[in-house]
Amino acid sequence: MLDIKFLRAEPEAVKENIRKKFQDEKVALVDEVIELDEQCRAAKTRCDTLRNQRNVISKQIGGLMKQGKKEEAEAAKKSVTDMAEEMAQLDARVDELSAQVRERMLVIPNMIDPSVPIGRDDSENIELERFGEPAVPDFEVPYHVDIMERLQGIDLDSARKTSGNGFYYLCGDVARLHSAVLSYARDFMIDRGFTYYIPPFMIRSNVVDGVMSFSEMENMMYKIEGEDLYLIGTSEHSMIGKFIDTILDEDALPQALTSYSPCFRKEVGAHGIEERGVYRIHQFEKQEMVVVCRPEESKEWFTRLYRNTVDFFRSLDIPVRTLECCSGDLADLKVKSVDVEAWSPRQKKYFEVGSCSNLGDAQARRLRIRVRDKVKGNYFPHTLNNTVVAPPRMLIAFLENNLRADGTVAIPAPLQMYMGGKTFIG
């Protein structure tokens, strides 16, 4: 959510930012906010004026009574009563207008970084760098589910009976590999100085409103019926939410956190849930990284975060590339975003395995997270998040890149200690 003061001062810049995101239908919201905000401030000013007048008149009533001026005293009392009634109406009007302003401010996109390329959708994202040499073996690489089934590591049919499409049973060495990847990711991030967390897997609606846009919530979040609770789509939601309504000491920054959680997503509006695959599913597990930092440090942290994911995949000898997300591919709260994609030998192309985002002070402003500074005054910190790894999607890249001609799958050295010393499976 933008600073209302910035919107008042730079309405045309906000409108141009909306156009850069190809959301022209939202341009009118800027003028609506300005008009409603003016009405709200006028109502507050009138209320403050009445309050001052009431206080003055109230002090005079006692003196009038002592002087025996009952009629004047009664008139003053009536005036005070009338003022109180008007103030109550004004307070209600202020609440109503404030709610209307906030409702619109929540859907006006955040200001994108000047370095973000302008484009309509992900087809216009720009490749930044490649890491590792993408290779295609001289034998056929089967579909990832076929590899898992040959390893007796997945049961989609049973999951379809119990839960429907978009769910799976992992078993045997594939399930163990899944856990090994997450354990390695946990230790990888701890070794890089991040504090490890296991957060709540459900959050309240006020936290949901703070961490994501309404459209994202509608397309992603599962609500618990009869309760003010939602299943998280990523641990970023509860990790940023943990700071709601807090004032942090500046000395406590940066907060560099890494968290494990299951993730639950409706995937409404996505490319669809595969009937036979684990690329886009309703339930998965993920290791995440979250940073809360000073505004002047967020650009540096942004680069560090996505390089952590690159380094993680390269430590397992999986080729990856980074993509700069264009303006139209950025969610409304994001200032800047880079996707990490892994190489698929079967498809002979890269596919997304992680996304790194700088959200500026948008989440902090929504959640009322502030930093105490005795010199400059309290301010909103910047928040960032990035995927370390999200199996089973990562397993697709892992299995394809480590498959051998005889059908076995090699286990890279960093994972072997988590796999009981095994050097291959199959």
- List, in order, residues 6 or more apart from 385 with CB less than 8 Å away: 234, 236, 239, 240, 288, 289, 290, 291, 305, 356, 357, 359
- At 45, the pLDDT band (50, 70, 90 cuts) reads very high
- At 56, the pLDDT band (50, 70, 90 cuts) reads confident
**Strands 382-389 vs 349-358: parallel, antiparallel or unpaired:** antiparallel
pLDDT at 271: 54
Lowest mean pLDDT segment, chosen from 218-227, 261-270, 316-325: 261-270
**Region 213-234 average pLDDT:** 88
- At 66, the pLDDT band (50, 70, 90 cuts) reads confident
**Region 2-29 average pLDDT:** 96
Taking only the tens place, the pLDDT of each residue in 362-399 is: 999 999 999 999 888 999 999 999 999 999 889 999 99
- List, in order, residues 6 or more apart from 303 with CB less than 8 Å away: none
- At 257, the pLDDT band (50, 70, 90 cuts) reads very high
**Integer Cα distance of 254 and 291 in angstroms:** 7
Which CATH number is associated with domain 122-425?
A: 3.30.930.10
The topology (CATH level 3) of 4-105 is Helix Hairpins (1.10.287)
- Nearest partner of 354 among 291, 281, 305, judged by Cα: 305
- At 73, the pLDDT band (50, 70, 90 cuts) reads confident
pLDDT at 316: 96
**Region 67-86 average pLDDT:** 85
Lowest mean pLDDT segment, chosen from 47-61, 245-259, 311-325: 47-61
Q: Where are the domains of the chain?
A: 4-105, 122-425
pLDDT at 270: 52
71 pLDDT more than 90: no
